[in-house]
Chains A and B, each alone.
Chain A
Amino acid sequence: MKNTKKALLALVLVAVLIIAACGSSDSGGTSGGSSSGGTSSSQTGGSGTSGSSGGTQSGGGSQPAQPATNFPEKPIELIVPFDAGGSMDALGRIMASKISEFLPNNQTLVVVNQPGGGGTVGLTSLVNSKPDGYTLALTPTSPYITETFFGQVQYKHTDFQPIIKLFQTPMYMTVKKEAPWDGFADWFEYAKNNPGKLKVGTIGPSSEGGLAIQDLMLKHNLNINLIPYNGGGPAMTALLGGDIDGAIVTGPSGKSAEDQIKRIFIVAPERSPSMPDVPTMNEHPDVDSGHVHFSGILAPKGVPDDIVKILHDAFRATVDDPEVAQKITEMGVDIVIGDTAEYQRISDETAKSEEALLKQLGLIN
């Protein structure tokens, strides 16, 4: 009696395990990736099974040759290569909340955080995943282009298929309200006449804003002390505390004490639509230094063109949606959409100019 009961229980358990096993190989769609595919695509190289074992789909292969007219058939994974709660993450989630309306089959977009290495870990994972359109990443310029020149990441910007350029996060030279400069011209004059006196805070060692200023310094023989900080927050604290004379940080996303600061210029070639009164460096006749920093959606190279188009259209429509657009602009982020070809073009251009600048600064060979 007891033995049969035990045997029965054991059988039930084995059955449960088998069902769980079958369930695990296509992972119920909640995480948008299968069990095996999931882990392998979140690693870098290692045992070399990246993106190949099991694959990222439950049924049917999606080899690039197939006309994937029914794309997407399951949730799409959007890698955000930064921590949850950060601005990239927020952007991703805002879009994810609305994009189902614009995706065929009303499929969903699932945000997956893969922080690390300033964004490079997430992008490394993207580059190793299957180019079937089900794995994408939302990334700024830095890990996508800038970081590739230092020889410490395993990919080049050409390993990615740009889908759509979405945002530009303008960086402003922010100073205290009492500071004696009101625009780029006086600040520039001061910098020229007072070598070594100015202290300007930047984010990280080779941030986009920092590089632009270094370009300016190089071309005009300026001597400015650049001091890297761990983020906009610490830089702003240092500014308010008087440690530094200026900080190159993003615009008002609430992280600044608005009534204590003013923005004297934007470190970009064009003015930002969200702050049209702030002049750019390049308006000065002698200056041509502003850099553009953009964020967009990438996929690994090899995604078929029709899928690229479907994704591009969906994201464009999402960001055009007034509700989404409003939330994004309130974050201080500019929506400047560029289609697939434009994104590719600007990526190549930026890569070229940044590589040249880095060489000039002596940072790479």
Chain B
Amino acid sequence: MSYKKASFVALLCLLAVGISFLVIASNWTYRTSLQNVVSPKLYPMGLCTILIVLCVISLFQTWRRKEDHVIPLPNVKRTLSTIGLTVAFLLAWRNIGYFYVFLALYIFLLLFVYQSREQFRKIWWANLIYAGIIVGFVWFLFDYILKIRI
């Protein structure tokens, strides 16, 4: 994707955020029994306005830009797989439980994604051990020592 195009998209998204937040903020109602209170809507709405203005300026600047370059996006598949696996892991952990099982699975699958086919076949057992070590370490650090409910 080209720098200009990507910038356009990003800026448009931010512009949308600015506008929607402005609308949301303008609809707030509040009550106070204290005196001399500056409205809690002022600051956020002011910021949204500035954001909108800046986005417009930047959009204009991007349009006028002469120089452009391509932003390489290698390995989109890997990135997407990572995101997908992470989301799946989080959902499984949250809704099903069995944290350690899913954790091990998550790590193992990540390794599957990150290594080439031959590499994976060669050292799949090392990967398993590695997953086990991480799980063990996580248990030790977070459950045993930090006593955090997982």
Contacts and interface: CB of A to CB of B under 8 A. Distances in A.
A47 B96 CA distance: 11
Interface string A94-113: 00000000000000001010
A33 B98 contact: no
Interface string B96-134: 111111001000000000000000000001001101100
A47 B100 CA distance: 21
Interface stretch (B30-38, B49-57, B66-74): B30-38
A225 B149 CA distance: 45
Contacts of A214: 33
Query: Which of B33, B94, B101, B132 has the largest count of A CB atoms less than 10 A from its CB?
Result: B33
B-side interface size class: 20 to 34
A17 B31 contact: no
B148 to A, nearest CB: 7
Given A226-B34, A363-B33, A31 B148 contact: yes
Contacts of B150: 24, 27, 31, 35, 38-39
Contacts of B98: 21, 24-25, 35-36
B31 A39 contact: no
Contacts of A228: 34
B97 A17 contact: no
B97 A9 contact: no
Given A9-B129, A28-B143, A39 B149 contact: yes
B147 interface: yes
Contacts of B131: 13
A27 B149 CA distance: 9
B21 interface: no
A205 B32 contact: yes
Q: Is the interface of B mostly helix, strand, loop or mixed?
A: helix
B93 interface: yes
Count chain A CB atoms within 10 A of each CB in B98, B125, B149, B150 and give the residue with the most.
Answer: B149
A182 B86 CA distance: 63
B135 interface: yes
B139 interface: yes
A35 B33 contact: no
A356 interface: no
A17 B143 contact: no
Interface in B14-58: 31-36
Given A20-B135, A21-B101, A31-B143, A47 B95 contact: yes
Contact of A27 (B35, B125, B143): B143
A214 to B, nearest CB: 6
Interface SS of A by simple majority: mixed
Interface size band for A: 35 or more
Contacts of B97: 24-25, 34-37, 39, 53-54
Contacts of B144: 30
A364 B94 CA distance: 36
Nearest to A228: B34
B128 A9 contact: yes
B33 A362 contact: yes
A21 B149 CA distance: 15
Contact of B100 (A6, A20, A110, A226): A20
Among the interface residues B34, B96, B97, B128, which one has the most CB atoms of the partner chain A within 10 A?
A: B97
A153 interface: no
Contacts of B33: 214, 361-363
A208 B95 CA distance: 38
Contact of A38 (B129, B135, B149): B149
A341 interface: no
A92 to B, nearest CB: 15
Given A10-B125, A24-B99, A25-B98, 6 more contacts: A9-B129, A13-B131, A17-B101, A30-B147, A36-B97, A39-B97
19 contacts: A17-B132, A20-B139, A21-B98, A24-B101, A25-B98, A32-B149, A33-B149, A35-B98, A35-B150, A37-B97, A38-B149, A38-B150, A39-B99, A40-B94, A43-B94, A47-B94, A214-B33, A225-B35, A225-B36
Interface of B: 31-36, 93-101, 104, 125, 128-129, 131-132, 135, 139, 143-144, 147-150
